[in-house]
Amino acid sequence: MNTNFHIWKNNRSIYHKFLQHNSLEKLNKIPEGFNNNLIWNIGHVIVAQQRLVYGLSGLPMHISDELYQKYKPGTKPESDEPQETVELFKDLLISPIDQTIADFESGKFQNYNEYTTSKGFHLASAADAISFNNYHEALHLGTMVSILKLLN
């Protein structure tokens, strides 16, 4: 699992740089041909990880239900996000990492409600979810790189 956690940390570091190095206007801009923006993608990966790893393990997620509802699969940006959301996401990109690692290493993820993703990946355990999460975050990172190219 160490490799999966290392990949996840690197992914999140890249996402964090998007928040640090882009204006609020750019983070909120939806380019033609897209149905979301940079900040929505970041919010989405935050809530998806919590749902895949914690929610499907029957454990409380470390995010609000309001945040989950706003960025869960099938949603799209409804309005521009303020700077406060950027600051929240800076924290939520990084803070869950150590908590998830500690919870995994302590054996907290004993139960898992098996789940098949929309792409056909069958997740039978929290370990599967952690591995799949890296794939999921990489897909969104690719989308974000494409969005950023259109905005520059």
From the list 9, 98, 86, the residue with the least C-alpha distance to 62 is: 98
Residue 22 belongs to what domain range? 2-151
Residue 84 CB partners (closer than 8 Å, separation 6+)? none
Per-residue pLDDT tens over the stretch 70-107? 999 999 999 999 999 999 999 999 999 999 999 999 99
Per-residue pLDDT tens over the stretch 12-65? 999 999 999 999 999 999 999 999 999 999 999 999 999 999 999 999 999 999
| Class of residue 49 by CB neighbours under 10 A (exposed 0-12, middle 13-18, buried 19+) | buried
**For the chain, what is the domain count?**
1
User: CA 62 to CA 68: how far, in whole Å?
Assistant: 10
The CATH number for 88's domain is 1.20.120.450
